[in-house]
Amino acid sequence: MGSAETALDLTLSNRQASDFELLANGGFAPLTGFQGSADHESVCRDMRLASRRRSSGVVEPADQSGELWPIPITLATDLECKVGDVVELTAHNGKKLGRLTVEEIYEKDVELEAEQVYRTTDSEHPGVAAIREEGARCLAGPIEADALPDHEEAFMRRYTTPEETKKAFADRGWKRIVAFQTRNPIHRAHEYLTKAALEICDGLFIHPLIGETKKGDIPADVRMRCYEVLMDNYYHPEHVMLGVNPGKMHYAGPREAVLHACIRRNYGCTHFIVGRDHAGVGDYYGTYDAQRIFDDIDLSELGITPLFFEHTFWCNECEGMGSAKTCPHPAESHLFLSGTKVREMLEAGEKPPHEFSRDEVAQILIDAYRTEGVQ
């Protein structure tokens, strides 16, 4: 049913458009639409989709039929409609994206989501603030996509759908592919762990997130320039590929580490790098919580193998990168710079030490702070 047959039209926020895009391109498989109340509660409480009825009408236990899924994907809106309506979905710039067939209208438990998914009810947490701002009233149902949201040319040059990414891996002959999620420029520590992971894989898929992030994060287009200069100079061209993940940040720590793994599985990756504070923010999550959550997950069901890395640093005694597993030297031998300190240096036009960041990356960031108003 097209827009000529319905007067219902909903303009999606940038965050909602990110969800629509991953539903449409297969990045959120097995999801095919925005989730209803049963899925919302089941995902929040059990990290699984709600159980489905067999043809006999018998409800299967959730642990037998509910697939693993870590974060609710819902569509909050105050649009007046009824079950059975078709709602045309539009991007913020006016681009027609597709439609949603309304199967349910419900009030989701926002506080349950905050407590279970984000592990806090503190509105200072950006993910909690976002779901409270969006509201509790939700529409649920399958989507039909006619188009995907627009992105800047810098991103579109690297944009591939999961299907296209899988084909690119196959064309390169890669069978073991490790994905690296990032929302920040790649510094020497990231370079070290991606190359360590690449030693046991055929290819590295650098897959930065380009959806909405919190205030203070480096803009995605600036990060893209950083990734590209690193690829041009410090990675073997036959064993690295750069894509873009149109998803948004939830800052949900452990739960989001699982979500990012699911997305990269859908893009065709076999391995996924999980750092010590993956998708974390502030001090809401414990050190390595994002790794420990995988202890309770059947990796054969997850469909991708997580690779866990310690905090890495430059050691003056080792004269190279190391971690608590590999370096025997005391902390005073290690080069560690806080994010605040790095930002202060960049704002002042000072390059961080070569041991912390490649000079080319540092220069891109300095220029962005000077000319593009990055803060």
d(CA 247, CA 252): 13
Q: Which of 15, 183, 188, 265 is catalytic?
A: 183
Q: Counting beta carbons within 10 angstroms of the beta carbon of residue 48, is it exposed (0 to 12), middle (13 to 18) or buried (19 or more)?
A: middle
Q: Which residues touch 324 (CB under 8 Å, ≥6 apart)?
A: 310, 311
Active-site residue, 184 included: yes
Q: Which residue do the tokens 């739960």 mark? A: 255
Rg over alpha carbons for the chain, rounded to the nearest Å, is: 21
Active-site residue, 25 included: no
d(CA 32, CA 22): 9
Residues 196, 273: contact at Cβ < 8 Å?
A: no
Q: Which residue do the tokens 């989730």 mark? A: 35
Count other C-beta atoms under 10 Å from residue 295's C-beta: 6
Q: Which of 172, 184, 225, 343 is catalytic?
A: 184
Q: Which residues touch 20 (CB under 8 Å, ≥6 apart)?
A: 12, 89, 97, 98, 143, 145, 149
Active site residues: 183-184
